[in-house]
Amino acid sequence: MPAAREHFVQFYEHDDSLVASIAEFVGTGFASDTAAVVVATPDHLRALEQRLGTRGIDVAAARAAGRLVALDAQRTLESMLVEGWPDAARFTAVIEPCIAMAQKRAPRVLAFGEMVALLWRDGRHDAAVHLEALWNDLARRYDFSLFCAYPIAQMGSGSWEAVHAVCAAHSHAMPANAVVHASEEKRLAEICDLKRRGRALDAEVGERRAAEQRLARSNRDLAELRDRTLQAIRALRASEARAGQMRALLVARGVSQHKQMDVQPRDVDDRKDEFIAMLAHELRNPLAPIRNAAAVLRRMNANDVAAVELCRMLERQVQQMTRLIDDLLDVGRITRGLVHFRRERVDLADVVMRAVEASAPLLSRRRHRLNVDVPNESLQFDGDRVRLTQMIVNLLDNAAKHTPDGGAIALRVISLPGRIELRVQDSGIGIPPEMLPKIFGLFVQAPRPGTDVQEGLGIGLALVRMIAEHHGGSVRASSAGAGKGSVFVVRLPVLSEARRHHPSG
């Protein structure tokens, strides 16, 4: 019988050997007035109940008496994940009541958990190590023995650090025990193999200690890297603020120079475009080192939930900033005629799916409900696949930014004679009537009711108009007023039936 608060692991080769170990673990406990909490896959739960039945244990009676609590591992795991990461509060809310109830039913409690193996199977090795730590934290508040298991064939998919972190989370490891009725010679060979593995593990432990010493020596460098990253973030925010100011000054300076020097409006526009391109280039330079620093920090602090979430937030903000600056660069290139639109045969359904996939993280973060309606027939036309995808992404992002969390967004494609209509409708803040004629202008932003905060640079919809017009199409916006949502409609010409079947003509 395992000691109280013992946390051990078995790296098994076959499901039968695992189920046999769980049955021995739980069955022996029932013989000595013990309660058990088992979190396993449905197949393993069914096999466990059959084995317990052959040992003379009334499983139904044990469940009814609260001495056996059985949970589906996959469903239980999903209930405690936040963005793919085990959340401490949700883990406590799901698992702690089961342990507490079991302790009321019997003086000793045994627990088996297979959720870590599911995380490891899916390649989320750091998440599995974090879940092991949450089990250990719970074991400091309750007296129970914990048994975890991993398929030994999958352990090679993890990094050296993750494998050893799993080993370090347990008091000891059980042998795989793949053959129950082995010969004496085979048992002796297995013992020798276990000793060999033990010596290898000792050597790896030595390497781990050396690595820990190297990590300790690098702590100061890590602190300096964090400081540099925070200075870089502040510099990026300052650059963004200066960009907004340069946008308040740019128009005024152009008008002043036009009056004083009799400069032609075309020259002012050329200077403005050159300035926008230079500004976007300078703003983009610090983004790569900030993105790399955030990734390094996240890997080096994989066991610190708060630090990991901070790094992920930073990475999302850098990604958003990169997209804004890329749009700014595109505006300058398109207006100066430096962008070559690559025409090819395009199916709009493929473009729509690419755009929805690109906008999915923002829509998910804002908890928006997106409804996509695309006709079944092929809707083909000549166009630039990348730019058309960018156009739809900008429309979806615009809808997401101006729709409160939990709102609804609809993307609908309508086939009409000679053209395609693409409609993006949202349940957001709406557009004031006086802004509708200006909404597709460069650097134009509609006011947000109740706040002075404005998102973006006011270039996304300008790009939508430019891309649509370069494809021989048009775009318009409509809104019933403040708080009543908006509708954006893009019209694009489609290929005639003759050109669909004879592209060379």
The predicted structure's pLDDT at residue 156: 81
Statement to judge: residues 349 and 485 lie in one domain: yes
Last residue of a domain, one of 290, 316, 335: 335
Report the CATH number that the domain containing residue 95 is assigned in CATH.
3.40.50.300
Q: pTM of the full predicted structure?
A: 0.42
The answer to whether residue 251 sits within a structural domain is: yes
Are 276 and 408 in the same domain? no
Cβ atoms of 298 and 311 closer than 8 Å: yes
CA distance 236 to 252: 25
Would residue 188 count as lying in a domain? no
Identify the pLDDT of residue 341.
77
* 17 assigned to some structural domain: yes
Whole-number pLDDT of residue 164:
83
User: Residue 369 is inside which H or E element, if any?
Assistant: strand 369-373
The tens-digit pLDDT sequence of the chain (505 residues) is 454 568 889 988 889 999 999 999 999 888 888 999 999 999 999 999 999 999 999 999 999 988 999 999 999 999 999 999 999 999 999 999 999 999 998 889 999 999 999 999 999 999 999 999 999 999 999 999 999 999 988 888 888 788 888 888 888 777 655 333 344 455 445 545 555 565 666 676 677 777 777 777 777 766 776 676 678 677 666 666 666 666 575 555 555 555 554 445 555 556 666 666 666 656 666 676 777 777 777 788 878 887 778 777 777 777 777 766 766 666 666 666 556 678 889 888 899 999 999 889 889 989 999 999 999 888 888 899 888 998 999 999 999 989 999 999 999 999 998 889 999 999 999 998 888 888 888 767 666 655 443 455 577 888 899 899 989 999 999 998 888 899 999 999 886 544 444 444 3
180, 210, 230: which is the final residue of a domain? 180
Q: Where among 335, 361, 394 does a domain terminate? A: 335
- Residue 235 phi, psi (nearest 5): -65, -40
Task: Give the separation between CA 446 and CA 428, rounded to whole angstroms.
Answer: 13
Taking the C-alpha atoms of residue 481 and residue 409, their distance in angstroms, rounded to an integer, is 17
- Using alpha carbons, select from 103, 136, 481, 112 the residue that is nearest to residue 303: 136
Indicate whether 165 and 277 sit together in one domain. Answer: no
The answer to whether residue 170 sits within a structural domain is yes
Tokens linked to 69:
């609590």
Cα distance between residue 92 and residue 136, in whole Å:
12
Is 195 inside a domain boundary? Answer: no
Q: Are residues 153 and 21 in the same domain?
A: yes
Please tell me the predicted confidence (pLDDT) of residue 110: 95
315 and 391 part of one domain: no
Asked if residue 384 is part of any domain, the answer here is yes
Same domain, residue pair 23 and 47: yes
Q: What is the pLDDT of residue 225?
A: 66
Task: Give the end-to-end CA distance of the chain in Å, rounded to a whole number.
Answer: 82
- CA–CA separation, 292 vs 158, rounded Å? 22
Residues 6+ apart with CB under 8 A from 391: 463, 464, 467, 468, 490
The parent domain of residue 419 ranges over: 344-501
Residue 286 and residue 356 share a domain: no
Number of domains observed in the structure of the chain: 3
Residue 480: per-residue pLDDT: 87
Within-domain flag for 378: yes
Is 348 in the same domain as 331? no
Q: In the prediction, which pLDDT does 28 show?
A: 87
Spatial separation of the C-alpha atoms in residues 14 and 36, rounded to whole Å: 23
What pLDDT is attached to residue 179?
35
In a domain, 130, yes or no: yes
Based on the fold, state whether residues 76 and 155 are members of the same structural domain: yes
